[in-house]
Amino acid sequence: MAKRIAVLTSGGDAPGMNAAIRSVVRCGLSRGWVTYGVYSGFKGLISGTIEQLTTRDVGGVIQRGGTLLGSARCEEFKTVDGRELALRNLNQKGIEALVVIGGNGSQTGSYELNMMGFPVVGIASTIDNDLVGSDITIGVDTALNIALEAIDRLKVTASSHQRAFIIEVMGRKCGYIALMSGIAGGAEAITLPEVKTDPEELAVTLRAAYEHGKSHALIVAAEGAEYNAAKLAEYFYANKERLGFSIRSTILGHVQRGGTPSAYDRILASKFGLGAVEAIEREEYGVLVGIKGNQVLTTPLEEIAGKTKQLDPAVIQLAKTLD
Ligand code: F6P
């Protein structure tokens, strides 16, 4: 039966979101459904900024980073009053199901809306890769490669000057980007929110590396770690005489979110868009579309809301072995 569905992007943008919107719209249209776009995430749901999307509206976007629908962090949606306003707008347009493309906070919003009786399907999309319910989320691959390129570049200048560089990467309370870019970039050390760091131990390691003739040292710091770039730099500056290396620090920040989506992210997003439309077709609501192993599947939002995915301890161990 023909359906009227809407799609929105919420929270921090992630490269590949446009590919996901395009896939939801085109997979919906191919079933004879009517598809709507909600502008500026949950904020647009509350203000009623909802417009019909045709196949042409999502043409030429697959290679673009960001999100054509815009995104926002919306405090009002966390209130029952805010969500009731959103429900009124959805019902006024006769929309029967909503697809929410976003990360952890956004999928908690999806869960709350679904709990109020509106059919919602989430799509796992965040550079943080902190969502339970998907091994990997849309945007991670691109963000990781941007971080890696920065690490490779910093290593070059670090070697020329016998310096130690701290590079801080995003990820909120999850150290996934730091851990993976640290391994891929051959970092000397990685600080993570999930693992306690002893800065003195780190200073001793750097000193030993210097004495063994190493020409540079690179430390990847997760923004959510106790020892993020600012805290580590503070410690190292205070102890700079015995460190051996002079220290410089770079915070990569939103550069990681702005990239052209990689092939992997475009394909993953396209698959997730189809997965969401198929879930709506089955009338399977209150779920998140993600990937486990090589299979696109759904997980109930109640198993996801408010949780943070754990890092694989074996990979943390590997990073320690390799540094
Ligand atoms: O959730 C994605 C993310 O980029 C986090 O890694 C980061 O902590 C946060 O968003 C930054 O949020 P904002 O763009 O609102 O400053």
How many domains, the chain?
2
Tell me how far apart the alpha carbons of residues 314 and 312 are, in angstroms, rounded to a whole number: 5
126 located within any domain = yes
Task: Write out the two tokens for 96.
Answer: 């029967």
313 located within any domain = no
Q: Which of 198, 231, 257 is where one domain is finished?
A: 257
232 and 97 share one domain: no
Domain residue limits at 186: 143-257
Which of 73-87, 100-114, 128-142, 199-213 has the least mean pLDDT?
A: 199-213
Given pLDDT bands bounded at 50, 70 and 90, which one contains residue 249? very high
309 located within any domain = no
Asked if residues 309 and 130 have their Cβ atoms less than 8 Å apart, the reply is yes
Q: 56, exposed or middle or buried, with CB in 10 Å at 0-12, 13-18, 19+?
A: exposed
Residue type, 231: K
29 located within any domain = yes
Q: Which residue has the tokens 């690490």?
A: 151
34 and 106 share one domain: yes
315 located within any domain = no
Distance of CA 94 from the midpoint of ligand 1 (Å)? 33
How does pLDDT run across 280-322, given as a tens digit for each residue?
999 999 999 999 999 999 999 999 998 999 999 999 999 999 9
pTM reported for the whole predicted model = 0.96
**Going by CA atoms, what residue is nearest to atom 14 of ligand 1?**
12
CA dist 114 to 19, 33, 36, 56, Å? 24, 21, 18, 30
128 and 86 share one domain: yes
102 and 40 share one domain: yes
Look up the CATH number of the domain holding residue 276. Answer: 3.40.50.450
Distance of CA 310 from the midpoint of ligand 1 (Å)? 18
Which are the contacts of 134, defined by CB distance < 8 A and separation ≥ 6?
A: 124, 288, 289, 290, 291, 292, 299
Look up the CATH number of the domain holding residue 237. Answer: 3.40.50.460
181 and 200 share one domain: yes
Residue 299: other Cβ atoms inside 10 A? 18
Residue type, 301: L
128 and 150 share one domain: no
Residue type, 20: A
The fraction of the chain above a pLDDT of 90, given in percent, is 88
Is 275 touching ligand 1 by the criterion CB < 6 Å?
no
Q: Ligand 1 atom closest to Cα of 224?
A: 8
311 located within any domain = no
Q: Is pLDDT above 80 for 1?
A: no
317 located within any domain = no
119 and 204 share one domain: no
What is the pairing mode between strands 295-300 and 287-292? antiparallel
Q: Which residue has the tokens 């131990």?
A: 201
Is 103 touching ligand 1 by the criterion CB < 6 Å?
yes
Given pLDDT bands bounded at 50, 70 and 90, which one contains residue 40? very high
For residue 289, the cross-strand partners are: 123, 298
Torsion angle (degrees, nearest 10) of CA 189, 190, 194, 198: 40
Q: Which residue has the tokens 């004879």?
A: 32
- Name the catalytic one among 13, 128, 130, 265: 128
Asked if residues 8 and 41 have their Cβ atoms less than 8 Å apart, the reply is yes
User: Phi-psi category of 59—alpha, beta or left, where left has phi over 0 and alpha has psi -120 to 50?
Assistant: beta
Q: Is pLDDT above 90 for 118?
A: yes
DSSP structure class, residue 12: S
Of 249, 225, 252, the C-alpha closest to 127 is 252
**Active-site residue, 13 included:** no
How does pLDDT run across 70-97, given as a tens digit for each residue?
999 999 999 999 999 999 999 999 999 9
DSSP structure class, residue 44: H
Is 175 touching ligand 1 by the criterion CB < 6 Å?
no
